[in-house]
Structure 1
Amino acid sequence: MSMTESSENSAFADTDADAAQLRAIGYEPVLSRKMSGFGNFAISFSIISILSGCMTLFGFGMSTGGPAVMVWGWIGVTIAVLLIGLSLAEVTSVYPTSGALFFMAHRLGGKGWGWITGWLNMLGLFGVIAGIDYGAAEFIGAFTGMTFGWTPDKYGLIAVFAGVLLLHGVLNTFGVRVLDLFNRVSVWWHLLGVAFIVAVLFLVPAHHQSASFVFTHYVNATGFKSAIYVSAIGLLLTGYTLTGYDASAHMSEETSQASTLAPKGIVRSIWVSGIAGLVLLVAFLFAIQGNSGQYATEAAGSGYGGAVTAPSIIMIDALGQHWAEVLTLIIVVAQLCCGLAAIGSAARMVFAFSRDGALPGSPTWRKVNRSAVPTNAMWLVVVVAFILALPSLWTIQAYGAVTAIASIGLAPAYVIPGFLRARQGKNFKKGAWNLGKWGPLVGYTASVWVVIEVVLFCLPQASPVTALTFNYAPIALAAALILSGVWWLARGRASYAPPAGTVEAEQFADLDVI
């Protein structure tokens, strides 16, 4: 037998084992299993996208604590998020399905847990897509302003945002191979792009800030007087950026050797993003010229797209317009890759939730096209994400609220499976990838952080609190919970029916790979 034939036979064996595990869980395979382990890591890494989250909320971070909170908050929250990811990865190894989080919660805690987890996960995914693509539109506006002299007003910005969403929707209709290709490119674009940006920021400027400024300087431009309060809400920068790693779990029905490679994709995407993001933030902070740290927080009046694009102001000051245009273009491409991956992941979640009868119109959203892509679910994601960003036409706090929606929806959904696993203790049947005796401790510790995080991100972000500065994230959360409750009482209790399955994790423990 040739090496090629042996490799092909091994691939078929892996696919057969994955299909057997999925059938044992209770689902018949309908999606195309053509994603590699690297591709699985790549989609989560692309959605986390430090060139999206770090850059679009840089101005927010500068006003809510400044460099000191941005740097040390990043380190602390990254550790907390890694605990959440470790706990989620352990459960993903046992239940590698597109439904992922809600299905895990259902199997470990019952229908009620599954139901609320699914709705929270869906709200968070809608919010993160709105945040990513609106942020990309802001940076596109900054780029066109610098390069062509056209800076979109709020209506032009919404039009650009709609165009970005439409582009991502169309590209997502072509199948998982296309998505996988873009994600692979995205990984290297992010890593090499960050390395290039950092090198330019350290080598080109004639002046750099001191280490004391970067690691200890505190800024408060919120209107609130309490440094503790301001620093706490400033953690949103990291909390929002380090989301999206559930994509590795959502794509597990399309990943070979999913019981090990999907968990590894989750954990790897977090720690790699954590390190790269810290380096990126520090590079931008060192590059701040003179008092630009102050007007970076007031970028809304700069003509370059608002506070979301504060990094563009810093780049122009430190590097000149030509370099700023080049680096902004690198950031824009990264953000576009991020949004593409996020819509692909969210579509799989909506497909899976509908497959189990959880949504109004479920028969429509669970259909797939000839390329085995849940296109109806994907277009639903696009439309809802667009609606979430519309308040930006009336309130200056809309973007911060959208990012808060993403965090307060996703964080609880991420941690509920780990909490339920911890509650089972030794009764939990571990999969091929597991935390051993540390599983319960990791799950409970992560749960404590998420409770704190949700409270923080529901708080007002600017003072005085008016109709224009109000954080409407809690309203969006309440609306989603009310809708889910009403639908549960009306139809959900009868229509929501995840399969019982017969899976025993130990049956698939030999799927581990090096």
Structure 2
Amino acid sequence: MRPVLVLSSSPAMSSSSANKPKGGPTLVDSKLESHQRLDNVQDSADHLLETLGYTPELSRNRSTAQVAFMSFVLASIPYGLATTLYYPLVGGGPVDIIWGWVLVSLIIVCVAASLGEITSVYPTAGGVYYQAFMLASPKWRRIASWITGWLFVVGNITITLAVNFGSTLFFVSCINVFEKEPGVGIFAGETWQVFLIFLALTLFCNAVSALGNKWLPWLDTAAVFWTFAGVIAILISVLVIAKNDRHEAKWVFGHFESFSGWPSGWSFCVGLLHAAYATSSTGMIISMCEEVKDPATQVPKAMVVTIFFNTIAGLLFLIPLVFVLPDLGMLAALASGQPVPPIIKAAVGSSGGAIGLLIPLMVLAVICGIGCTTAASRCTWAFARDGAIPGSKWWIKVNKTLDVPLNAMMLSMAVQIILGVIYFGSTAAFNAFSGVGVICLTAAYATPVAISLLSGRKQVRKGKFYLGQLGAFCNVITIAWSLLALPLFCMPTIIPVSAQTVNYAPVVFVAATAISGIWYWAWGNKNYAGPPVHDD
């Protein structure tokens, strides 16, 4: 029989010990074994990280469920789909909204599975850039990791910027469900007002991420239940009340109407930015690998499983809205570019009812911003840790009191605020931020996948998440999607193009590429050795 831990020598304890069943583990034994298993898993993860060349610096405070919940929050599907619903509305109407979401979700399952296979072998906060280095041949590994790393960092920062900026525009539209008169909201939403709200929201998300790090897993957990409660409330309310009646199912699932000016097929594809933006965070969770107890299995599973939850949540949100859509032409002409608040108001028939249903989305928007801020800071810190960002010695410092890479977080925040100034020159800035975020992250995800496929997928066979031939199929879909997304999301949403509606995503993308190229030529070519890995 196993030894029993004696906590006291009192008669009561002695009597209890004497009367316990023989031959079986006690409650104390079970708790000790559970803690030992957790400690062993964490020690194993830390040992693997050291083997991959890094010293563990961050606390592993997230369980499998919590990392899955964070992955869910990073996508924040009802909120993410709400802020970008304008694109499929203009691109193709109901067909683009529903079937575009289903199509992209199926593609993103392949992306998540492909990344999961590689992450299972190389679970570090460096994510795809570390993976690209390890998978590439010695001749090309430095430049491969450099390009992938910059794409990943810029993608994380700009998608976080897009989330906070999209939240700002969404909040303004939500406020304006209260109207002075039909079509005239109570808040003007001038350019400077929008920028100040964005600034306040960005500062708030960074403050919560920095000061409340140990509570973030619980916030992510609560957000999941909050999400489904909000979605169900919207679903029931708009379908039951439906002030302007409901469309027929044939119209909901089969009506195509484009307002973009593009040919029908291309218009449908441009509208996919809606779904691509909402799912672009799929690989951002990799940056949390060094704060997860068993990243080699937890992170790949979380990435894949979350997609299915996201898909269901998205359909529960989108289909009811399409059933109660008001005039499509009116929605396509909205100056705010935020159709969800007017749709919900038209469905329930009152401003008070509309704002009550919009509050869950507004709260989720803030939680999503906090999650993206956290992930962006970790990938910035990881890339700086290998000397790839100018001033790396400042950005790699971890604040031991807060247990976060605070300097890297501040760098990410500063870049977001500077890029946010673009809004003063173009009201289509949100399109640029979301577009460049999707482009960079999609390309970053595809790079290690392509290298792995071209090298015969030899390395991923060693992982705990190896998918065999199914994995090879997923790799091909991932690469094909990347090749389509790169030119697709550089396109303007509507044509003809004006200075106000031009898509600035290519400008931001080229600027980031130029900065990374110049820095590699000036410093990286001679000094950047890549991650501190062992040759074996």
1:86-122 residue CA offsets vs partner (Å, 9 max, x unmatched): 1001101111111111100111111111111111111
1:42 partner amino acid = F
Q: Quote the residue 1:508 is aligned against.
A: none
Q: Quote the residue 1:440 is aligned against.
A: 472
Deviation at 1:496, TM superposition (A): 2.6
* Farther off after superposition, 260-269 or 178-187: 178-187
1:121 partner amino acid = F
Q: In 1, Cα distance between the equivalents of 2:170 and 2:106?
A: 29
- Whether 1:215 and 2:253 are equivalent positions in the alignment is yes
- Whether 1:297 and 2:332 are equivalent positions in the alignment is yes
2:523 partner amino acid = R
Q: Which structure 1 residue ranges, 5 or more long, are not aligned?
A: 301-305, 505-514
Aligned residues: 495
Deviation at 1:78, TM superposition (A): 1.1
- Whether 1:67 and 2:104 are equivalent positions in the alignment is no
- SS for the counterpart of 2:247 is coil
Q: Quote the residue 1:269 is aligned against.
A: 306
Deviation at 1:142, TM superposition (A): 2.6
Which one of the candidate residues 23, 37, 40 is aligned to 2:64?
37
Q: Quote the residue 1:345 is aligned against.
A: 375
Q: In 1, Cα distance between the equivalents of 2:313 and 2:174?
A: 24
Deviation at 1:500, TM superposition (A): 4.6
Alignment map for 1:255-334 (pairs within 5 Å): 255-289=292-326, 291=327, 293-300=328-335, 306-307=336-337, 309-319=338-348, 320-334=350-364
Label 1:154 to 1:260 Cα distance change in 2 as closer, same or farther (>3 A).
same
Which one of the candidate residues 277, 285, 290 is aligned to 1:253?
290
Q: Quote the residue 1:512 is aligned against.
A: none
- Whether 1:465 and 2:518 are equivalent positions in the alignment is no
1:157 partner amino acid = V
Label 1:180 to 1:147 Cα distance change in 2 as closer, same or farther (>3 A).
farther
Q: Quote the residue 1:400 is aligned against.
A: 431
Deviation at 1:502, TM superposition (A): 4.3
- SS for the counterpart of 1:251 is helix
Say if 1:233 and 1:456, in contact at 8 Å, map to a contact too. Answer: yes
1:233 partner amino acid = V
- SS for the counterpart of 1:14 is helix
Say if 1:90 and 1:430, in contact at 8 Å, map to a contact too. Answer: no
Label 1:170 to 1:185 Cα distance change in 2 as closer, same or farther (>3 A).
same
Q: Quote the residue 1:422 is aligned against.
A: 453
Which one of the candidate residues 387, 390, 409 is aligned to 1:360?
390
- Whether 1:102 and 2:129 are equivalent positions in the alignment is yes
Q: In 1, Cα distance between the equivalents of 2:149 and 2:462?
A: 23
- Whether 1:379 and 2:417 are equivalent positions in the alignment is no
Deviation at 1:33, TM superposition (A): 0.8
- SS for the counterpart of 1:2 is helix
1:201 partner amino acid = V
* Farther off after superposition, 110-119 or 185-194: 185-194
Q: In 2, Cα distance between the equivalents of 1:327 and 1:62?
A: 21
Say if 2:380 and 2:408, in contact at 8 Å, map to a contact too. Answer: yes
Label 1:146 to 1:465 Cα distance change in 2 as closer, same or farther (>3 A).
closer
- SS for the counterpart of 1:425 is coil
Q: In 2, Cα distance between the equivalents of 1:282 and 1:32?
A: 41
Q: Quote the residue 2:191 is aligned against.
A: 154
Q: Quote the residue 2:366 is aligned against.
A: 336
* Farther off after superposition, 92-101 or 426-435: 426-435
* Farther off after superposition, 186-195 or 405-414: 186-195
Deviation at 1:279, TM superposition (A): 2.2
- Whether 1:184 and 2:213 are equivalent positions in the alignment is no
1:56 partner amino acid = T
- Whether 1:20 and 2:47 are equivalent positions in the alignment is yes
Say if 2:54 and 2:532, in contact at 8 Å, map to a contact too. Answer: no
Which one of the candidate residues 440, 447, 455 is aligned to 1:409?
440
Q: Quote the residue 1:58 is aligned against.
A: 85
Q: In 1, Cα distance between the equivalents of 2:241 and 2:497?
A: 41
Q: In 2, Cα distance between the equivalents of 1:272 and 1:150?
A: 36
Q: In 2, Cα distance between the equivalents of 1:408 and 1:255?
A: 27
Q: TM-score, normalised by structure 2?
A: 0.89
1:462 partner amino acid = I
Q: In 2, Cα distance between the equivalents of 1:263 and 1:90?
A: 7
Q: TM-score, normalised by structure 1?
A: 0.93
Q: In 2, Cα distance between the equivalents of 1:363 and 1:147?
A: 50
- Whether 1:244 and 2:281 are equivalent positions in the alignment is yes
Q: In 1, Cα distance between the equivalents of 2:445 and 2:79?
A: 21
1:217-274 residue CA offsets vs partner (Å, 9 max, x unmatched): 22222233x1112111111111111111223211010001111001111111222112
Deviation at 1:209, TM superposition (A): 1.2
Label 1:322 to 1:426 Cα distance change in 2 as closer, same or farther (>3 A).
closer
Label 1:392 to 1:219 Cα distance change in 2 as closer, same or farther (>3 A).
farther
* Farther off after superposition, 349-358 or 67-76: 67-76
Q: In 2, Cα distance between the equivalents of 1:376 and 1:113?
A: 26
1:255 partner amino acid = V
Q: Percent identity?
A: 29
Label 1:209 to 1:238 Cα distance change in 2 as closer, same or farther (>3 A).
same
Q: In 2, Cα distance between the equivalents of 1:500 and 1:325?
A: 52
2:354 partner amino acid = A
1:57-101 residue CA offsets vs partner (Å, 9 max, x unmatched): 112221111111111111111111111111001101111111111
